[in-house]
Amino acid sequence: MKSTKHLLHPELQVMAEASIITEINDENLQGIRETLDGLRPPLEDEKSYNVTRKEIFIPQDNAPDVRCLLYIPDDRTEASGPGYLHIHGGGYIIGSPEGSDTQNLLLAYEIGAVIISVDYRLAPEHPIPAPLDDCYAALGWFHENSEELGIDRARIGIGGESAGGGLAAALAIKARDEGKYQICWQSLTYPMLDDRTGDDKNPGDPLVGEFVWTREFNQYAWNSYLADAKREAPQAPGRLEDFKGLPPTWMFTASLDLFRDENIDYAQRLMSAGVSCDLVVYPGACHAFQQIETSELAQRFREDFTAALKRGLRG
């Protein structure tokens, strides 16, 4: 297959040349996690953002406590403001809330939202339902402690990137079906939704998936995450049949991202079910392009994402 490097935005060409991960398997996964943890900068001083950051642990029945990072703006102007539950990316197999710390500090400061970022259990050690159970427990804690946190329960949104976006979509489905916790909004950034993407029967458009997150990575991650579970919604949101009653959605994807077509399809099915849905596709971008923080597209994304979340959390 010919390279799609020429389709990348000029400022993102480095994404084609500096791949940190070239292979993922059971033998090297822990080493990959340690390498990525080592590349992560130290946590910033939250007080420079006028935000208080706390590590909390949410109890569960018959399961380990869920570790989360909680961000509370110091200078909130609303007695009962918005809340945002964030779920980090990493293919369901990598990552932690610390990787999104700067983003969440900025969001808490700029939109005045209380944010909880979930350190859900990772596959393959903890396949479904563990990761989704952890996120659902955090959503429940957010609702049940809303008064103490100064949150309006009708203004709690959720979101995440990549696998975090997939878990956010799954969480929205689970919350709708359980009928216990209201979600006013979901922000899905190139979410990982469909276990079929990149398998032998569904190779997809050859112009996507060359950089950062490949078909091979995707299939390894989905098989780790689902293990012996049924390949159905909510754990595989792309297999959902009934989209009615899901929260208003901001769906973001990129023209060279492996998830582009499953993201567009999911957005179309939301719209067909009468769900309000913004669909945004950036040309010349690939998975995780925001890592090039100084690029035009990364700065544009941050502005678009923040504006959409602020709008969505109005309730």
pLDDT tens, residue by residue, 141-191: 999 999 999 999 999 999 999 999 999 999 999 999 999 999 999 999 999
Tell whether the model's pLDDT for residue 61 goes beyond 80.
yes
Parallel, antiparallel or unpaired: strands 249-254 and 185-189:
parallel
pLDDT confidence of residue 314: 93
Between the CA of residue 87 and those of 30, 137, 148, 203, 301, what are the distances in Å?
21, 13, 22, 27, 18
H or E element in which residue 108 lies: helix 101-111
Cβ neighbours of residue 221 under 8 Å, at least 6 residues apart? Answer: 24, 91, 92, 93, 123, 163, 192
Alpha helix (H) ranges present in 232-295? 260-272
Token pair for 90: 């990493």
pLDDT confidence of residue 129: 98
Give the model's confidence band at 1: pLDDT under 50 very low, under 70 low, under 90 confident, else very high: low
Tell whether the model's pLDDT for residue 67 goes beyond 70.
yes
Could you give the domains of the chain?
5-312 (3.40.50.1820)
Tell whether the model's pLDDT for residue 20 goes beyond 90.
no
- Average pLDDT over all residues of the chain: 96
> What are the beta bridge partners of residue 194?
none
pLDDT confidence of residue 153: 97
pLDDT (tens digit per residue) in 241-272: 999 999 999 999 999 999 999 999 999 999 99
> Please, is 152 exposed, middle or buried when counting C-beta atoms within 10 Å of its C-beta (0-12, 13-18, 19+)?
middle
pLDDT (tens digit per residue) in 68-111: 999 999 988 777 999 999 999 999 999 999 999 999 999 999 99
Token pair for 39: 């590349």
Q: Give the count of beta carbons closer than 10 Å to the beta carbon of residue 20.
A: 10
**Cβ(65)–Cβ(141) under 8 Å?**
no
pLDDT confidence of residue 155: 98
pLDDT confidence of residue 17: 82
What is this structure's pTM?
0.97
